[in-house]
């Protein structure tokens, strides 16, 4: 969405260290935790999103987008779908 390749590259290379405004930082942190450690999600994770101004609909949107990507990636990985050319050159996180 940003169409800023430097920003996207920084986010891919180091999502935890990328310079983000507080709202985006909260969403990225939530997405990373939900992706990497879904069983450890707590009410506080949702409250952090509320604290930066996300309402219930926006929180649901973030949650569903993260879940959708997890679902699609597992389908693609499980079926051996090759990566698009763009991702082949992306640094490993």
pLDDT digits (tens, 9 = 90+) for 53-71: 999 999 999 999 999 999 9
- Pair of tokens at residue 59: 């929180």
Most confident among 2-11, 17-26, 45-54, 79-88 (mean pLDDT): 45-54
For 62, other C-beta atoms within 10 Å of its C-beta total 19
Q: How confident is the model at residue 86 (pLDDT cuts 50, 70, 90)?
A: low
What fold, for 5-88? AhpD-like (1.20.1290)
pTM, two decimals, is: 0.80
Q: Where are the domains of the chain?
A: 5-88
Of 19, 17, 26, 23, nearest to 4 by C-alpha is 19
């Amino acid at each position: 969405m940003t169409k800023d390749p430097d920003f996207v590259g920084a986010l891919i290379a180091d999502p935890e260290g990328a310079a983000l405004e507080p709202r985006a930082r909260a969403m990225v942190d939530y997405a990373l935790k939900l992706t990497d450690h879904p069983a450890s999600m707590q009410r506080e994770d949702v409250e952090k999103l509320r604290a930066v101004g996300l309402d219930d609909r926006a929180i649901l949107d973030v949650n569903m987008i993260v879940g959708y990507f997890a679902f699609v990636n597992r389908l693609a990985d499980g079926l051996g779908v090759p990566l698009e050319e763009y991702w082949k050159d992306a640094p490993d996180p």
